[in-house]
Structure 1
Amino acid sequence: MTSEAWDRPVTVETRIDHYSAVHLAATRAHSLGTRCGLGGSLPDQAAAVASELASNLDKYAREGSVYLQALPLGEGLEILAVDRGPGMADPRRCLTDGYTTAGSLGTGLGAVQRIATDFRINSTVPDGTVAAARITGGQHRPLPSGAGMVCLPAAGEDVCGDSAAIHENGHIRTALVIDGLGHGEAAAHAAGRGLRVFYDHCDDPLEQIMQRMHHALRHTRGAAVGLVRIAPGTADFCAVGNIRLCVLSPQRPHRQLDGRPGIVGWNLPTVQTRTATVAADETIVLYSDGIEARWARQPSAYFLGLPAEVLPVALGHRHRRLRDDATAVSLAGVA
């Protein structure tokens, strides 16, 4: 996506609390697919995927939502369906045409897998299911993997005061989470200005990016900013304000790092970059305070088992503070 298209990135949530919400999810997927640059019949295919995933939530799941957003890397649309149970004992079997537990034709998830450029599903009993379908115009190009994002506005707000981005340069990925103070248009203005600085200077040293953002945000309400750069074996972290980083590991204790007290644009502390060792089987999560911090104190097996591509949306679904904007970015460790 161009920087202009990402001035105010947002994840659109449709709660599937009634069958009528299935049509709403499909309509939104068609509209956002068009805005993401999908041409030809692709917006119709996006609507079909959203309809199938939402229909499954309505039939089988508890507290399910469909989330729509532009891809965090590459160009296209991402359609994610998340619930709170009961989960699937054998997700692969559910992808087989003809499999059903509701007496229907049983072609839903199999059809989604055929339509989507990339489709993955993770499910545990009784925790629930996360399904992610990605649709792009470049059907024959492999999609970037090992990265995920969610950016949700506070309840009742049309714009999000948080922003996020991921930049890829060879084997190195740099990610941003920025939280404009408060929420609404003024917060979104601050976050959008910081985002433009990131896109203009994303290959610079992290401390220099932070200094540039501080200068750019002087005439805004200011923001909390977190930056992380992951390379083979390591991750550099630089943050000011309530942006946290968590390193999740399936084998070792998780590690957490907090941002330094201050407000970018108002009172910037001495900027410091810290380095953490990150193995290839570990995942980094960078998140704003709109995501409850308690999830990271003792990460559950449910989160430890999720790949980076879907981890942020699962966090947003289960640990979002509804009165605040909530953003999370995840990056898989690099071998």
Structure 2
Amino acid sequence: MTPGPGGGPGAARPVLAEPTRAVPIDHFSAVHLAAATARTLARRCGLPGALPDRAAVVASELASNIAKHASGGSLYLQRLPHGEGLEIIAADRGPGMRELERCLTDGYTTTNTLGAGLGAIRRIATTLTIRTRAGTGTLVCARLAPPHRTTDAERPVGSLCLPAEGERHCGDAAAVALTDRGLTALAVDGLGHGAQAEEAARAAVRCFHRMPDADLPDLLAAAHRALRHSRGAAIGVLRLRDDTLDYCGVGNVRVALLSADDVAHRLSGQPGVVGWNMPPPRVRRLVAPAGTTAVLHTDGVDQRWSRDPEPFLLRLPPPLLAAALVHGFRRGRDDATVVTVKTPQPTAPQPRPPRIETPQRPR
């Protein structure tokens, strides 16, 4: 792991992330809105040169695909969960793509159009991740990062944060930090809705960014002090390092550990409210073998998703898993936040080159 609260020397200074922008693609007019939103967010993320216009192309192509071929689709646009850049995720409940590799080829089309589509997105995006299933739908994540920060787009971290339907303010928040002590993720649910809940959530995130490598109980204790004059919040924080996961939470924030075949563990926070009546926080440690995915979410995502999930859901990469949970299991009347992180697969040892000995000439 790299040191420092922002992910190591030269890392970007932590920014209080804004809620995810959701653009429902229920009509072709939404394609223009998606493109304009992507361009604006890319500029706010500081993407240089032509990258904001390229982000608009990516959003336009993904939205057009949903409008032409699918139903129940949306685009989710936001800053990268960790680092510098923009993330554009498309999720739908359409028929899926039967020939994904052909769809990624320039010029391929099923609707007699120019066929730029996914081929253009693959050329533009820093990273492109797609999962599709016939009869279920398609999930696409395109990340765009500045040329000097391309590794930020490759991190196996996903996060979405959405306000309740009809709300301008979001009482949920999330943050991720990479330090010597591991990857630490935070999910906050400010009590109630509106501006006061949002301020409580933001205060917790500011506190987290000041001390992301602290012991987890100390993080919650600091948040408790910071939120004393606020509405209070439910907070869950996890730390993933090597093959272990530590979780510490108060209130209705849940964590689940997923293998490729099942949900291995489910935990919820201790009863209480951070900022008001928080009990002494305790840490629960779980074994997290390589390839395990940890999901941290507020109660704006229906916990029933974890009771009998399909293998397709369990095996999604973190960015797509976060989108699938929000898109498929969000409670519209509540703010909703999901953070997903994955333990790295062990690196295969590189074979040593054969030793070559040069015979010496006899003297």
- Superposition RMSD on alpha carbons, in Å? 1.3
Runs of 4+ in 1 over 6 A off after TM superposition: none
Matching residue of 1:244: 254
Matching residue of 1:109: 118
Distance 2:181 2:226 in 1: 29
Matching residue of 2:99: 90
Matched, 1:187 2:193: no
Among residues 210, 214, 219, which one is paired with 1:209 in the alignment? 219
Q: Decide whether the 8 Å contact of 1:117 with 1:139 is kept in 2.
A: no
TM-score, scaled to structure 1: 0.96
Q: Secondary structure of 1:141's match? A: helix
Matching residue of 2:164: 154
Matching residue of 2:353: none
Matching residue of 2:235: 225
Q: Deviations over 1:51-76 (max 9, x none)?
A: 00000000001100011000011101
If you compute each CA radius of gyration, which structure gives the higher value, 1 or 2? 2
Matching residue of 1:256: 266
Cα 1:200/1:178, change in 2 over 3 Å: same
Matching residue of 1:10: 19
Tell me the CA shift for residue 186 of structure 1: 0.5
Among residues 305, 317, 324, which one is paired with 2:334 in the alignment? 324
Tell me the CA shift for residue 253 of structure 1: 4.6
Distance 1:77 1:140 in 2: 12
TM-score, scaled to structure 2: 0.89
Q: How many residues align?
A: 333
Q: Which amino acid aligns with 1:228?
A: L
Among residues 273, 289, 294, which one is paired with 2:299 in the alignment? 289
Structure 2, unpaired ranges of 5+: 1-11, 347-363
Q: Deviations over 1:78-112 (max 9, x none)?
A: 01100012111232221011221111121110000
Matching residue of 1:196: 206
Tell me the CA shift for residue 203 of structure 1: 0.2
Structure 1, unpaired ranges of 5+: none
Q: Decide whether the 8 Å contact of 1:9 with 1:164 is kept in 2.
A: no
Distance 1:257 1:183 in 2: 25
Distance 2:40 2:263 in 1: 43
Aligned identity (percent) is 48
Q: Decide whether the 8 Å contact of 1:73 with 1:144 is kept in 2.
A: no
Q: Secondary structure of 2:319's match? A: coil
Distance 1:87 1:165 in 2: 32
